[in-house]
Structure 1
Amino acid sequence: MTPLPAAPSTVPGPDGNPSFGRFAGAVTRFDWSVLAAPYARSRWWRRFRHKRWHYSALATEQLFCGIAIVDVGWTNTAFAYVFDRTRRAVVAGFSRDGVPGLTARLAAHAGGASSFRFGERRIAMSASALSLRCKGLEIDADLGAPNAPLLLAVGPVRGGAVHATQKSSGLALSGSVRIGTQTYALDGGVASFDYSNGLLARETAWRWASAHSLALGFNLQAGYFGAHENALWLDGQLIGLGAATFDFNDNDPMAPWHVFTDDGLLDLYFTPEGYRREDKNLLVAASRYVQPIGTFSGWVRARVDAPRRAVSRLAGVTEDHASRW
């Protein structure tokens, strides 16, 4: 196993070079306005192709919560949901499009703070905390410090220019979720976050899988970003993974998934417990999204000659997503 190189402090670097690759560590700034040729784009082009999102996942034995703030350049949106794993149903949440330039504030890097505010719907999230308020739902969550490096992935995008993402390992979780008069404890759970920032194509599609405990976790993607962000966290180590295959029935969100990497380091089966689905058609833009929630079982290993580490009922999500934005 070869450790990933340390992340640069800024992306791009001072010379405008985007520094493609996978790295370990946090970036203090993403600034696509200083990109050098051949990836430089005009300010007007960047205005409509600059896409950023900040997503947090909160998992316990009883609940799974997904919360996201998204800025697509010409507008913004946010969503949150609470999935009750014992009832196998989404029991609370919202999805709301915002007002361009007013309702969403996306952090400039993964360590910063992002927020969304539209009427009674309010979200504030960072790498260490999350607060959500809307009618009938409140979340207050504290996220512990990571026990493994953040993943930084930077790469070119066909039809766009450059994309970058920062993913966390599993983070110790505490706090509470309140739905109406009922309160659920988050203490003892596991959180993770995804901060992504790039200049993407008008048509963008991906499959994604992510799940974490404090000792083991992974992130897999197949689609617009290739294998750039595929990674395994194992006992405090960050390990790059090869290209991922997603074998699933796109007509049945509750059918099992098989996900594996071509380097022989990960082979997992995903059993959905339920799912969140949202399709939008805004004339100039559209999206098709389904995110099953469930558990992964199978095995991972740090290198091809290492013994397999069993994975049993690790809570997480898969996703099938296509956007015209």
Structure 2
Amino acid sequence: MRELRTPPDAILDPITGAARVGSYRGELPRVDLTPLAPRRRDRLLKHKRWTYVAIVSDEVFIAAAVVHLGYLANAFGVVFDKVGRRLLVDRSTLGPPFAASVGDVGGEGSSARAWMPRGRVRIERPRGEARITVTAAFRGVDLRARLDTSAAPPAISVVAQAPGGALIATEKRQLLGVEGEASVLGRRISLDGALASYDYTSGLLPRRTTWRWALAMGRAQSGERVGLNLGEGFVGDAECALWVEGDLIPLAEGRFTFDPGRPLDPWHVRTADDSVDLRFVPGAAHSNHTNLGWLTSDFLQPICLCSGTVRLPGGRVLELRDVSGVTEDQVISW
């Protein structure tokens, strides 16, 4: 099992300029990529960053995101009814780069905002505060929530070098406490007592980028709060992790088996060492297929219930049954 180190005070060595590549336990420092892309044109074309938040309650799965591509901005909001197994709201909107912003930190001091005619999102955690404020407004949904980091396990943070010299920094955290509510199609849904996660990513990414990703969050059959982040490709095993109550445990890289022609059929997701073996059963999917010439994207994110087993260090096995989560298949040229 790889070791999770203490995060560095900067992602680049101040003397050599080399990236401080590794997997870390805790929040990233400021992600300043200017030394690697001093020309504004390079940053405009290559610097991609986003913040994604997911909230899981007994009734719903809610996701909201702000994405900044340098020359274009995107925001989306999704609400999935866990009981009815259907999407209640699925909204996505594009806008000019000045219609959104994503800051240079993922934890304390973070800020991501989108203000567009068809949707608004704000995800912020001021300096000195433990709570993340999340608001999102799209047609059919008005979300107002506070995510509490004070009792949550630490984030897993990564600085990774991708093929072609691209640099990626990402910070992911799960099992945050939630207070708040969502108004969905005129129905008020309390989110008090729900669980939440966030994903902050900033990098100088390759022209063509692909990944597969899975998130799961809920309770094991034995009662523990459990969160899971698995990826295949992108930064490899560096971001793969399991949260169990207050513990953060690194995992091997994910392996995804599914039928691209039938994405709502079950997905088999495991780790390379078989310590995780899960079946994700989609109920519906948030997707986006864009072709703007210079930007082409095939993005698929089924919203699922997952069941299976997770083997902990030491041999104990946790059983998951109908835990909320998503899978994702992304192929993008940007």
1:4 aligns with 2:15: no
Match among 47, 50, 56 for residue 53 of structure 1: 50
Q: Contact 1:276/1:292 (CA < 8 Å) preserved in 2? A: yes
- Per the alignment, in what secondary structure is the counterpart of residue 163 of structure 2? coil
Distance 2:271 2:75 in 1: 31
Q: How many residues align?
A: 319
1:223 aligns with 2:237: no
- Aligned residue in 2 for 1:104: 100
- Aligned residue in 1 for 2:79: 82
**Measured at CA, do residues 33 and 62 of structure 1 come closer, stay the same or move farther in structure 2, by a change above 3 Å?**
same
- Aligned residue in 2 for 1:28: 29
Q: Contact 2:71/2:96 (CA < 8 Å) preserved in 1? A: no
Match among 66, 71, 76 for residue 68 of structure 2: 71
- Aligned residue in 1 for 2:317: 308
Report how far residue 316 of structure 1 moved.
0.7
The TM-score normalised by the length of structure 2 is 0.90
Q: Contact 1:4/1:238 (CA < 8 Å) preserved in 2? A: no
Report how far residue 86 of structure 1 moved.
2.0
Report how far residue 3 of structure 1 moved.
5.2
Q: Give the partner amino acid of 1:97.
A: L
Distance 1:41 1:203 in 2: 22
Deviations 1:134-181 (A, max 9, x none): 343210011111521111011111135110100002111221111242
Match among 115, 123, 136 for residue 121 of structure 2: 123
Alignment of 1:176-195 (within 5 A): 176-195=181-200
Q: Contact 1:93/1:137 (CA < 8 Å) preserved in 2? A: no
- Per the alignment, in what secondary structure is the counterpart of residue 54 of structure 2? strand
- Aligned residue in 1 for 2:253: 243
Over the aligned positions, Cα root-mean-square deviation in angstroms equals 1.8
1:293 aligns with 2:306: no
Distance 1:44 1:99 in 2: 16
Match among 261, 275, 280 for residue 290 of structure 2: 280
Distance 1:108 1:183 in 2: 34
Report how far residue 227 of structure 1 moved.
2.0
- Aligned residue in 1 for 2:19: 18
Deviations 1:38-63 (A, max 9, x none): xx675432321111010000111221
The share of aligned pairs that are identical, in percent, is: 34
Alignment of 1:136-175 (within 5 A): 136-145=140-149, 146-175=151-180
Identify unmatched segments of 5+ residues in structure 2: 126-131, 220-224
- Per the alignment, in what secondary structure is the counterpart of residue 53 of structure 1? strand
Distance 1:179 1:296 in 2: 24
Q: Contact 2:75/2:119 (CA < 8 Å) preserved in 1? A: no
Identify unmatched segments of 5+ residues in structure 1: none
Distance 1:164 1:30 in 2: 7
Q: Give the partner amino acid of 2:176.
A: L
